[in-house]
Amino acid sequence: MELDQIIDNIYPLTTKSKDLIKASIIEVKFSKGHILFKANKIEKSIYFIKKGIARAYAYSDDNQITFWFGKEGDPIVSMQSYVNNQKGYEDVELLEDCELYELKMEQLQKLFLEDIHIANWGRKFAELEIIKSEKRLISLQFENATQRYLALLNNYPSLLQRVQLSHIASYLGITQISLSRIRANVK
Amino acid sequence: MELDQIIDNIYPLTTKSKDLIKASIIEVKFSKGHILFKANKIEKSIYFIKKGIARAYAYSDDNQITFWFGKEGDPIVSMQSYVNNQKGYEDVELLEDCELYELKMEQLQKLFLEDIHIANWGRKFAELEIIKSEKRLISLQFENATQRYLALLNNYPSLLQRVQLSHIASYLGITQISLSRIRANVK
DNA sequence: TAGCGTTTTTATCATTTGTTAAATGGTTTC
DNA sequence: GAAACCATTTAACAAATGATAAAAACGCTA
């Protein structure tokens, strides 16, 4: 997905303000398997996915638990770093060769204080992340694993072709064996 | 909790900007049991709790499932209304006699476009809500019911004295009977 | 395409959680 | 203070999920 579209989908900006953001963005490429964010580290950038797919995970005992998937157009953010300038608790792994837009937080924070339109863009960016997070919360609390599985496929139609089932199972909060049983029943 | 402290805890403002926000806020009182937000309605205000405690719930089949508790200092927001001007899916019930600060969204939205400090205050407000939401997500996905129960009591020490166990059980994503079993083991 | 390593499914059994019903404990009201 | 009501706990059984191990399917490489 192209940069202009990603920025405008969050909050429409004048050309002038958009150019200020774009001047702080560079395009970067990484290979499949690259670890973009490391847990217990303060991240200095946020990213937007131009092409590819990624996941965030953390460890519970020795198990990796995936709690986020990102696809084209989605932001990749360590919220603890972005909001509080503190260490994050997640690794982010790229699941395919990826093209990303990188935005340095320091420059963005400066723009927030200088340009009211960009401040409102940043406000809207955060608000949209709340909505995503709230939807996920409600899905975890109100739906059973089968419903969550079907909803996930609905949101990310190509996910099954791009991500291994063990990651999907941990995202759903169940074991891979339970996911197999669900798939056997749903088919 | 007093209004100045609530506003400043989100993001420190100059007196001038803070007065603009405060000019849009009125104090209101409601009795225990009052339904502040109704599901499937576009809410026009957000609130901050000066005194009291509240919960948000939605229905799954015929069961009320509580998914949020708010106490002194917390905001009460229907995010779907606040962010997208769309109908919310939750009721909010006051669990005690409450004193609230009411802030009309329409006036706040106007201030966002006129005052860059208030725009950044609104940005920070949303960002802090993301952090809360993310913590809750991680607790739901990474911790078992016993751990979540203990963490909830830790965050809201007086909750047990103020809220009935059936609400706590549904918040934890378990039945009230399971919660009884947990409490029998933890004691 | 044969072989090897990885991913996914299946089977079995143990554990946890849910369901239903009944018992206990507390509070309010007349 | 007895009756009625509500919240909470306990008990017994059913259903769902987890753990472990093994088999099957898949994908890559030589």
Min CA distance, B2 vs chain A (Å)?
24
Average pLDDT, chain A: 93
Residue B103 φ/ψ, nearest 5 degrees: -125, 115
Nearest chain A alpha carbon to B174: A141
Alpha carbon distance A153, A156 (integer Å): 5
Residues of A near B (Cβ–Cβ under 8 Å) read: 58, 60, 65, 67, 79-80, 82-84, 89, 112-113, 115-116, 119-120, 122-123, 126-131, 133-134, 136-138, 140-142, 173
Q: Is residue A110 part of a domain?
A: yes
- At residue B85, the pLDDT reads 97
pLDDT by 10s per residue, chain B, length 187: 899 999 999 999 999 999 999 999 999 999 888 999 999 999 999 999 999 999 999 988 778 899 999 999 999 999 999 999 999 999 999 998 999 999 999 999 999 999 999 999 999 999 999 999 999 998 888 888 899 999 899 888 888 888 999 999 999 999 999 999 999 887 6
Give per-residue pLDDT as tens, B47-96: 999 999 999 999 887 788 999 999 999 999 999 999 999 999 999 999 98
d(CA A141, CA A147): 11
Any domain includes A157: no
Judge whether A115 lies within some domain: yes
Tell me the CATH number at A70: 2.60.120.10
Cβ-Cβ contacts under 8 Å, A174 against chain B? none
Look at residue A129 in the predicted model and tell me its pLDDT.
97
State in Å, rounded, how far the first CA of chain B is from the last one.
32
Q: Is the CB of A179 under 7 A from strand C?
A: yes
Residue A33 burial class via C-beta count within 10 angstroms: exposed 0-12, middle 13-18, buried 19 and up: exposed
Say how many domains are in chain B.
1
pLDDT for A66 equals: 92
Residue B32 domain-assigned? yes
Q: Backbone phi, then psi, for B168, in 5-degree steps? A: -65, -40
**A172: in domain:** no
Closest partner residue to A120 among B82, B89, B112, by Cβ?
B112
> What is the extent of the structural domain holding A94?
3-142
In this prediction, residues A80-105 reach a mean pLDDT of 95
Task: Say if strands A45-51 and A98-104 run parallel, antiparallel, or are unpaired.
Answer: antiparallel
CA distance B143 to B150: 10
Task: Note whether A131 contacts B67, CB cutoff 8 Å.
Answer: no
Of A92-106, A146-160, B85-99, B116-130, minimum mean pLDDT range: A146-160
A80-92: average pLDDT: 96
Any domain includes B137:
yes
Tell me which of A143 and A79 has the higher pLDDT. Answer: A79
Please count the residues of chain A. Answer: 187
Distance of residue B145 Cα from the nearest chain A Cα, in angstroms: 12
CB < 7 A from strand D, the residues are A 144-145, 173-175, 177-178, 181; B 164-166, 176-177, 179-181, 183-184
Question: Is residue B118 assigned to a domain?
Answer: yes
Residue A52 located in a structural domain: yes
User: CA A179 to CA A163: how far, in whole Å?
Assistant: 14
pLDDT digits (tens, 9 = 90+) for A39-51: 999 999 999 999 9
